[in-house]
Structure 1
Amino acid sequence: MKPKFLLLISVVALPLLYWISNNAAELVLADTENATKISTNACQFGQDVCEVSIDQQDYLVSVVNDFSAGQAIQIEVEPKQLTGREQNNLEGVHFLLQGKTMYMGISETQLQFVDGKWVGLLRIPFCTTQVMLWQLDMTLQESGDNYLARYEFEMRQESGY
């Protein structure tokens, strides 16, 4: 009886797991379709201080600490300069990270507003491949509207051999 039960579970569970691994990211990212796409100006996330613009307000997006796999990176989003408008125009900043080379799950964080800027931690999962391509979606919420900036970056593993 046990071998038949295990076979039945395998026949049902394995295709389901395969489907989830290939389609889960698309289901999660479907929520970003309602957001207005904004330019990242081809910025190299994690290497450069990136700049995005919403309604004549520029924001700087930066990684404060070491940028490496397996580590929690500290991200900050702050106005580039005050434009006479209210300093805290943003209502929220959300980051969602997923692997492009292979599905590695979803890592996400909602930044908190502290001392005039949005700050938060995001963990980049450790991958066993030599090179991993990641996609990072930053959603900015302002006046009830969502704006999406998408970054892609490579993470290279250092060979210890």
Structure 2
Amino acid sequence: MSNRLIQYAFICLLALGLGIAVVWLPEQLKPQTPENQLLLTESGCSVKESTCSATLDNQSISVAVNPQAIRSTIPLTFTIQLDGIDADAVNLSLEGVDMFMGLNQTQLSPVQDKPGFWRGVTEIAICTTGEMMWRARVIAQQDQQQLEAHFDFSAK
């Protein structure tokens, strides 16, 4: 076997090894992140009219807001009820659906003497376009799992 053929075979094996390392190694080095589950929100529900729920198997996240007449810069009290979820922490994020409106994240606190209930106060930002769609994204942290539910509503 010629010296040139051995060099060619070595370069091919080296390229193959590098290719495998580029594809396989990043996946192996990726930090372990909590499993994220999205609960399905009941259709047609609006937090401006009633309590809304999202479910997955025997787990549910319900959200109520007070006042239900949601307007920008007015303090809003969000009450979250968890069923079948033993959460370590619950966070609420208010996001513009069609427009980035900045970060609006609130860590909710457990309600005394009401297991499974969490509460927090926040407000939505002013939008110069008038009425727009918002999303209340609720994330319940349970051990190494995140359970998430989305609740859309319109507000001025």
- Normalised by the length of structure 1, the TM-score is 0.63
Partner of 1:52: 54
Q: Distance in 1 between matches of 2:146 and 2:103?
A: 20
RMSD of equivalent CA atoms: 2.4
How far the C-alpha of 1:40 sits from its partner, in A, is 1.2
Query: Structure 1 stretches of 5 or more lacking a match?
Result: 1-32, 157-161
Instruction: Tell me the percent identity.
Output: 24
Task: Name which one, 1 or 2, has greater alpha-carbon Rg.
Answer: 2
1:61 corresponds to which residue?
A: 63
Q: 2:79 aligns with which of 76, 80, 83?
A: 76
Q: How far 1:69 sits from its partner (Å)?
A: 1.3
Which ranges of structure 2 fall in alignment gaps of 5 or more residues?
A: 1-33
- Structure 2 distance, partners of 1:58, 1:38, is 7
Task: Kindly indicate whether the alpha-carbon contact (under 8 Å) linking 2:35 and 2:145 is maintained by their aligned counterparts in 1.
Answer: no
Matched letter for residue 55 of structure 2? S
Partner of 1:109: 106
Matches within 5 A, 1:19-38: 35-38=36-39
Using the TM superposition, give the Cα deviation of residue 74 of structure 1 relative to its aligned residue in structure 2, in angstroms.
0.3
Is 1:144 aligned with 2:144?
yes
3-state secondary structure, aligned to 2:133: strand
How many aligned residue pairs are there?
118
TM-score (norm 2): 0.64
Residue-by-residue CA offset, 1:44-100 (whole Å, 9 max, x unaligned): 1332201233552444311122421111210111246xxxx8xx8221111111223
- Counterpart amino acid of residue 38 in structure 1: L
**In 1, distance between residues paired with 2:59 and 2:38?**
15
